[in-house]
């Protein structure tokens, strides 16, 4: 027979041990919270420093001071610094979350999250009607004013916006986008349309890169043109009769020659038409494990910047436009290319600031082509007396000033024009900072016929210092110019 519980007896019927368990749990969490403060205080006292937690009593309790106090506590915390890398690693490997700077895509691709967020940003009433930009930071107004200032001195301007990686490879972010489809933000479309309406000479790399993704022959043309022979048949290749299949077989053989020349060993299945294979890093993310298809990529997987293929394609397009417009003349310098393979940990990977993640992710193999002087065998070098000046950001620095050197956009444009160039690079500062630097170095503008101005698409809204109107440097007497260029 079951006993009945009277309502007044509920409290008495509760297990007496439940309150003890709750009390113990509260004590445990309080101890856990206090332990961080105790450890931090002990470390600071042993170092002979003041107790950081007491800084809140040494300043006025304003909102700005309190926010700064919280940030200082987080930055100085010994416990946080010890545990943060492991939490970041777990977050990255298991939850595919890269934090505030990185976005984990498909097939091991990483994207710069602020650029992605900006691409999807919706317009607000407070922004410029045509470009979704603040009126005081309008790139079109700044570009047109600078174009006109250059034209007054008889100097032409070619503007080269470089697409964001996510604009050209949205299919590596989500399966909802078809492979090969590009996505251009409304802000970027508005800026490009206004530049066209203002008759600003602007090279459309968005259309060029989108076409290259759907037409691999565009990317393979350069390597095929400089190759005078093909190796023996490496194995089963795409089968079929007729010109399309013959072109595929030729492209596959050409790719294998490039792979071996750059020092990349062929993996199992290479030359057998099996396509690209992937290997998995200890994080569980797939990264390209061989060279297959690498030459056809326009951007790096772990980095926000373009690949050597993207560099060379853009350099050829810029050279072609300059020559077509009559703004640059083909020189007499002879350059040749030398394969220079490098292993690179991408900037997006480094933005995670987690050594635990970096150690467990395989560096990306990058097959670069270093530009060398044919007569001396020395790597490409700038010439301040050139008629062509190139301004830009880290898209000009990568491969040029980074490893392997003389393999970036500047060197390949010089090779296409057959003449050395003058360049000025400012990381993240192509919108305003690079022009301010040019103002402080007037000798670089001496005897110039054309300026090529490169900037990343994300700088349209995120450019450092916005888009300020920067005057041209004053013309210098010849004697001052000579001193600057020594």
By C-alpha distance, which of 315, 314, 286 is closest to 301?
Answer: 286
Is 160 found in the same domain as 69?
no
Q: Is residue 216 part of a domain?
A: no
pLDDT tens digits, residue range 196-248?
999 999 999 999 999 998 876 555 554 454 443 333 334 444 444 444 445 44
Are 130 and 123 in contact by the 8 Å Cβ rule? The answer is no
DSSP H helices in 326-407: 347-351, 355-360, 394-397
Q: Is residue 359 part of a domain?
A: yes
pLDDT tens digits, residue range 256-287?
454 444 444 343 333 433 333 333 333 333 33
pLDDT tens digits, residue range 15-39?
555 777 777 778 877 776 667 667 7
Are 216 and 293 in contact by the 8 Å Cβ rule? The answer is no
Give the whole-angstrom CA distance, residue 45 versus residue 40: 9
Helix (H, G, I), strand (E, B) or coil at 359: helix
Is 62 found in the same domain as 183?
no
- Cα angle value 168/173/176 (rounded, 5°): 95
DSSP H helices in 77-198: 78-95, 113-119, 139-152, 165-168, 186-197
pLDDT tens digits, residue range 301-360?
999 999 999 999 999 999 999 999 999 999 999 999 999 999 999 998 888 877 777 788
By C-alpha distance, which of 312, 303, 141, 306 is closest to 220?
Answer: 312
Q: Other CB atoms closer than 10 Å to residue 302's CB: what's the count?
A: 22
Whether the pLDDT of residue 147 is over 50: the answer is yes
pLDDT tens digits, residue range 282-304?
333 333 333 334 457 899 999 99
Q: Which residue has the higher pLDDT, 125 or 49?
A: 49
Whether the pLDDT of residue 432 is over 90: the answer is yes
Q: Is residue 167 part of a domain?
A: yes
pLDDT at 140: 95
Q: Is residue 306 part of a domain?
A: yes
Is 199 found in the same domain as 57?
no
Helix (H, G, I), strand (E, B) or coil at 250: helix
Helix (H, G, I), strand (E, B) or coil at 278: strand
DSSP H helices in 100-242: 113-119, 139-152, 165-168, 186-197, 205-214, 216-225
pLDDT at 259: 44
286-288 and 278-280 as β-strands: parallel, antiparallel, unpaired?
antiparallel
pLDDT at 388: 98
388-392 and 450-456 as β-strands: parallel, antiparallel, unpaired?
parallel
Query: pLDDT category, 464, cuts 50, 70, 90?
Result: confident
Is 459 found in the same domain as 418?
yes
DSSP 380: P
By C-alpha distance, which of 396, 338, 345, 401 is closest to 370?
Answer: 338
**Mean pLDDT rounded to a whole number for the chain:** 77
Q: Is residue 170 part of a domain?
A: yes
Q: Is residue 55 part of a domain?
A: yes
pLDDT at 227: 40
Q: Is residue 344 part of a domain?
A: yes
Is 69 found in the same domain as 202?
no
pLDDT at 59: 74
Is 199 found in the same domain as 65?
no
Q: Which residue has the higher pLDDT, 167 or 47?
A: 167
156-162 sheet: strands from edge to edge: 156-162, 450-456, 388-392, 422-425
Q: Residue 264 has which token pair? A: 């990349």
Is 467 found in the same domain as 357?
yes
Is 62 found in the same domain as 149?
no
Is 121 found in the same domain as 81?
no
Lowest-confidence pick of 62-71, 89-98, 356-365: 89-98
Is 200 found in the same domain as 55?
no
pLDDT at 290: 34
For residues 42-60, average pLDDT: 68
DSSP 272: T
Q: Is residue 149 part of a domain?
A: yes
Query: pLDDT category, 167, cuts 50, 70, 90?
Result: very high
The highest-confidence range among 141-155, 211-225, 249-263, 468-482, by mean pLDDT, is 141-155
User: Number of structural domains, the chain?
Assistant: 2
For residues 402-406, average pLDDT: 95
Give the DSSP H/E element, type plus range, for residue 18: helix 17-46
For residues 445-463, average pLDDT: 94
Are 388 and 416 in contact by the 8 Å Cβ rule? The answer is no
Helix (H, G, I), strand (E, B) or coil at 451: strand
pLDDT at 156: 98
For residues 388-412, average pLDDT: 97
Is 431 found in the same domain as 362?
yes
pLDDT at 417: 97
Which domain does 475 fall in, by range?
115-210+285-485
Burial class (CB in 10 A: 0-12, 13-18, 19+), 140: buried
Is 58 found in the same domain as 132?
no
- Report the share of the chain in percent with pLDDT over 70: 64
For residues 41-55, average pLDDT: 68
- Report the share of the chain in percent with pLDDT over 90: 44
Contacts of residue 229, defined as CB under 8 A and 6 or more positions apart, other chains included, come to none
Q: Is the pTM of this model over 0.75?
A: no
């Amino acid at each position: 027979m079951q006993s009945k519980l009277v309502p007044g007896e509920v409290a008495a019927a509760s297990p007496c041990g439940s309150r003890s368990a709750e009390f113990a749990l509260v004590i445990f969490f309080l101890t856990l919270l206090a332990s961080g403060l105790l450890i931090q205080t002990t470390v600071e006292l042993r170092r002979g420093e003041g107790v950081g937690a007491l800084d809140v009593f040494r300043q006025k309790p304003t909102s700005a001071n309190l926010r700064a106090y919280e940030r200082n506590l987080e930055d100085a915390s010994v416990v946080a610094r010890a545990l943060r890398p492991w939490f970041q690693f777990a977050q990255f490997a298991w939850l595919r979350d890269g934090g505030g700077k990185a976005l984990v895509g498909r097939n091991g691709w990483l994207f710069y999250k602020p650029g992605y967020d900006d691409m999807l940003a919706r317009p607000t009433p407070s922004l410029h009607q045509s470009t979704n930009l603040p009126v005081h930071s309008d790139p079109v107004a700044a570009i047109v004013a600078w174009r006109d200032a250059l034209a007054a001195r008889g100097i032409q301007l070619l503007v080269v916006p470089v697409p964001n990686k996510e604009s050209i490879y949205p299919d590596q972010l989500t399966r909802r986008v078809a492979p090969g489809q590009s996505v251009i933000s409304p802000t970027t479309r508005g800026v490009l349309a206004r530049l066209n309406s203002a008759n600003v000479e602007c090279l459309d790399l968005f259309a060029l890169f989108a076409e290259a993704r759907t037409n691999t022959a565009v990317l393979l043309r350069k390597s095929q043109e400089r190759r005078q022979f093909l190796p023996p048949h490496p194995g089963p290749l795409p089968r079929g009769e007729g010109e399309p299949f013959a072109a595929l077989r030729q492209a596959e053989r050409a790719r294998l020659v490039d792979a071996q020349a750059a020092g990349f060993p062929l993996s199992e299945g290479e030359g057998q038409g099996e396509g690209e294979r992937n290997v998995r890093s200890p994080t569980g993310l797939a990264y390209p494990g061989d060279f297959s298809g690498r030459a056809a990529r326009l951007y790096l997987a772990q980095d926000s910047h373009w690949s050597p293929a993207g560099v060379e394609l853009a350099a050829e397009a810029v050279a072609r436009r300059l020559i077509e417009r009559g703004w640059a003349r083909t020189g007499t310098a002879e350059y040749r290319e030398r394969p220079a393979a490098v292993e690179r940990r991408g900037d997006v990977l480094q933005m995670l600031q987690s050594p635990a993640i970096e150690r467990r992710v395989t560096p990306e193999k990058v097959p670069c082509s270093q530009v060398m002087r044919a007569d001396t065998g020395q790597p490409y070098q700038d010439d301040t007396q050139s008629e062509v000046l190139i301004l830009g950001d880290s898209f000009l620095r990568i491969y040029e000033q980074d490893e392997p050197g003389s393999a970036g956009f500047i060197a390949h444009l010089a090779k296409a024009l057959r003449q050395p160039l003058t360049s000025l690079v400012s990381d993240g500062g192509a919108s305003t900072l690079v022009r301010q630097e040019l103002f402080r170095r007037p000798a670089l503008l001496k005897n110039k016929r054309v300026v090529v101005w490169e900037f990343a698409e994300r700088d349209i809204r995120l450019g450092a210092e916005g888009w300020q109107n920067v005057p041209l440097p004053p013309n210098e007497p010849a004697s001052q110019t000579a001193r600057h260029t020594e």
